Structure formats: structure tokens, C-alpha cells
Amino acid sequence: MQIVTMMILLELFEIYIQRADTLREMIDNLYYYYNRSVFLFFLVHPTFYYVLGVTLYFDTFNFYSITILVLKALDLFFKVELIKQRYYEPVMDAELEKMMELKITLGVKFLAPLTYVPLLYLSIMT
């Protein structure tokens, strides 16, 4: 139960660090960490490392843990790509530019804990 509680706390930490009204604001917030150090950018995503550690410790390489790790890795790569497009490319793709103005609703903000925590629980219990 402590493992699941820690996952919830780490997910809430990530929500707090990435808080924003639009995707553009979230990428701007994350760029602050990315600009200081790429390692710092990856450190503000502790749930990826936590799930990796839990998976290795309990030797639970099952569908649920691999699903969490793949989704978390895709999330990280997507954020890095958005930072690259926004700050390092001369012009951003029109589709990405429109996507950056999308509002982040409360449901989207809490989608990660509502998805990853049950998957982690299932991963440990099976």
C-alpha cells in the first residue's frame, strides 16, 4: 500500500510542477527546467524512475508495468519534441501550433494518476 501511496504523491508532484492552463504554458514551464539542464528536466518526472524501480525490485515485468513505462517514455519524448519544435526550430508545424493553444482541463490533469496508479497496483498484485 505504501508503494501505491508514494506513486500517488509523485503523480501529484508532477501535476504541480507541470500546472498550466494550456499546453503552451506547460511546455514553457518545462522548458525552464530543460534550459537549465536536460537532467533536471528528466528529474521533474520522477514517476518514470519510480515505476522502473518498483518493476525491477518486484521483478514484475508484466503487461501493466510495461504499459506504464511505455506510456511514460512516450510522454517524455513527446514533451522533448514539443520543446524542440517551440524553441529550436525556426517554424513550428501548423498542427502543433494549433495544438499548443488547447486548454488543459481538470480531467486531463488528473488522467495520469487515475490511469497509472491502478496499473501499478495491478502490476504488483499479478
Please report the pLDDT score of residue 108 as a whole number.
92
Beta bridge partners of 10: none
Strands (E), the chain: none
> Domain limits at 54?
2-125
| Backbone φ and ψ of 91, nearest 5° | -140, 135
Q: For residue 63, give the C-alpha cell.
A: 503487461
What mean pLDDT is reported for the chain?
94
pLDDT in tens, 37-95: 999 999 999 999 999 999 999 999 999 999 999 999 999 999 999 999 999 988 888 88
- Has this prediction a pTM greater than 0.75? yes
Helix or strand (DSSP H, E) at 117: helix 111-125
Residue of 7, 97, 107 whose CA lies nearest to 49: 7
DSSP 1: -
- Per-residue pLDDT, averaged over 95-123, amounts to 93
Q: Which residue is associated with the grid cell 513550428?
A: 92
Please report the pLDDT score of residue 87 as a whole number.
93
Q: How many CA atoms lie within 13 A of 13 on its CB side?
A: 13
Residue of 64, 69, 37 whose CA lies nearest to 52: 69
pLDDT surpasses 90 at 1: no
Query: Measured between alpha carbons, how far is 37 from 35 in angstroms, rounded to an integer?
Result: 6
Q: Which residue is associated with the grid cell 495491478?
A: 122
Work out how many domains the chain is built from and give that number.
1
pLDDT in tens, 101-110: 999 999 999 9
> C-alpha dihedral over 102, 74, 57, 15, to 10 degrees?
-10
